[in-house]
Copies of this chain bind each other. A is one copy, B any other.
C-alpha cells in the first residue's frame, strides 16, 4: 500500500465490538516482512485467526469478503502457498484472479517493469498476493500499489506469512510464546523459515534456541549476533537426542539439494545426519511438538506422523487460518 492511500483499518467494524484493543487504531496496510509485526500485532492477528478456525469449520462458510477480488501474482511457482491463499480468500466468500507463472507468461517477458505490472493489476483487483524471485520485490510492489500487497515470498528474502503461521502454531500447540525452548534442526544457513522464526521469537521473553545442523549449513553469524544483542539465549549442539529431550518445539527443516550444486556427496552426508524418527520422539517431552514447513523428504520418518506430537499437518492447516486473518484485516480492518 503506497502512502497515497492509508486505510483506516479501524473504520470498518465488522464485529459489534472490538475483539481486542491496541490503542485507538489498528493499521495493517501491507504484509512485507516478518519483522514488521510487534507483539501486540501478532496477538491481534492470532486472535482473528482463532475466529477463522470457527468460520472455516462452519458450513456454508463466511461471505465477509464477498465482492472482493484477490490477484495471486506468482513470478515463480509455489503451489502450496498459492492454494493456501486462494483457499483462504474463497473460504471468506472472496474471488481470485490467478497467474501461476507470471515470469514466463506475462508482459514481464517482454521487459515490462514490476511497477507497470502492479499498476495494471491493481486496476483489476482489491488486493495483490505476490511471489517473486528477487529479494525486495514485495517492498517495491507495495510502494507502487494503491491496494494492499502481501509478500508470499520474494527470493531469498522474506516469506512473512510462513513466519506468522509458525508462530501461531507454537502458540496454539504450546499455549505460549514466552519462556519456550526451540530446537531449529537441519538447514539453518539457507532456510528462510528458521531465520524468520528466530527474528519473531526474539520479541518474546526467555526464549532459548538450540541450533542442530550439519557443519555446511550452520546458522549464520548475523542471526546469532542479533539474538545475542536482544539477550536471547542460544547454543549450538551436535546431539539431537539431548536437544530433543529438552525442547518444547523441535522445528525440523529440509536440507535443500539445490544449495550444494555439484557436491552431491556433501548433500547426501548432510541430509542423512539428523533424522526425526521414533527414537527421537521417545526422548521428547509429552507436551513438546515436532514442526516442519514442508515439503519434507525423509528428514522426518513417516512413522512419526501418527504421534499426537507431530504438529506439522496442523501447522500447514494453520497457514489457512493465518492467511484468512491477514486477508480480513487488510481488506476490512477490525
Contacts and interface: CB of A to CB of B under 8 A. Distances in A.
A279 interface: no
A107 B69 contact: no
Interface in A82-97: 83-84, 86-87, 90-91, 95, 97
A102 B90 contact: no
Interface residues of A, number: 50
Contacts of A59: 67
A123 B320 contact: yes
A27 to B, nearest CB: 20
Contacts of A77: 104-106
A41 interface: no
A313 B100 contact: no
Contacts of A106: 77, 79-80
A156 interface: no
B316 A120 contact: yes
A185 interface: no
A116 B295 contact: yes
Can you tell how many copies of this chain the complex includes? Answer: 3
Contacts of A260: none
B99 A87 contact: no
Interface in A188-219: none
A297 B113 CA distance: 8
A110 interface: yes
Given A83-B124, A87-B125, A110 B295 contact: yes
B87 A105 contact: no
Contacts of A313: 119-120, 123
A317 B146 CA distance: 14
A111 interface: yes
A226 interface: no
Nearest to A313: B119
Given A87-B124, A116-B294, 17 more contacts: A60-B66, A79-B99, A83-B99, A83-B121, A83-B124, A101-B105, A107-B294, A110-B254, A111-B297, A112-B297, A116-B295, A119-B313, A119-B316, A120-B313, A123-B316, A123-B320, A124-B320
